[in-house]
Chain A
Amino acid sequence: MPVLSKDKRHAVQFTLNGEAVDGFVEPRLLLADFLRHHLGATGTHVGCEHGICGACTVRIDGKAQRACLTLAVQVDGRSVDTVEGMAAPDGALSPLQQAFHENFALQCGFCTPGILMSMEEFLETNPDPSDAEVREALSGNICRCTGYAEIVAAVLQTAKQLREAPTQGSE
């Protein structure tokens, strides 16, 4: 592959929530900024911009990762999922989103997209987590409103619900 010059914009294309998207980007452009500013997908939030807060967490090829620690050029050809892809086309919330709603697991909502993307992968890899496991998995996302208790309750409720009726799952 040729060197992509810093002075130019380069074609990048990938799948976002199941749909093909593309754009022209400088090599240094962060995936988080590409999603928000180029594609208008502002569901992904940007907090600390150095990987600590977890607000920008998206799923790349299914794995939860920081969009602020990823360059847009790096996801060329990959599949990216963001919070915008969670609800059904008719607006019906996913089981995890519904549980957040019912448990009052968000207040200002700034951290919520990152937490949803993180917990979606977590529940796929660990369908029957303990309270302690949920708390440890949440350690990579900072919420300054809730105190986490409601978020833990929402995740545990979703896990139980998906175990009892797995076909209702979002994935």
Chain B
Amino acid sequence: MKTFVIEEFYVDEQNRCNFYTVKFDDEDVSETVKFFESYDVEGHEFRDDVLYITVLIEEIAAKGSQIIYRPRDEARALALPPEKMIREINLEYTGNNLRLYYVELRTNIWLLLGGGIAHNLPKGNPPIAFHEAQYFVKKAVEAYNIEYKIHDGRVIPANGTEIIIY
């Protein structure tokens, strides 16, 4: 059995969107920290990509998720990926050569799942495989419904901080 906890990643009262991340209980750091540790490295070929994502997170935090996710009626129909997603939630990616996966629990609460090289590139090896990510999302949604409350742009654990994933 493996469990993970939800940690604050970039949560601030000034933010219009707060970011959380996930950490498996047998790991020292969260999946998102692993992502940054892997690519925010001097001389890494994809360092610019991870720094672009860093700025994008800052911009979304400051201005809100609508800067990349427009409140248009058609938006959800066009969300990627289209077919194999569970219905309640979107999982999208950002970046060029890298993908940082996230779940939008609310427009102002995003859960970062970690990431890696884009799965459609030759070296693509996102740490969380796509189907696993969807299962992960499903569990996060269950947890969101059962064990966590969302209040004032923050995720508040109600029944402990652990979520069983498998």
Partners in one complex: no
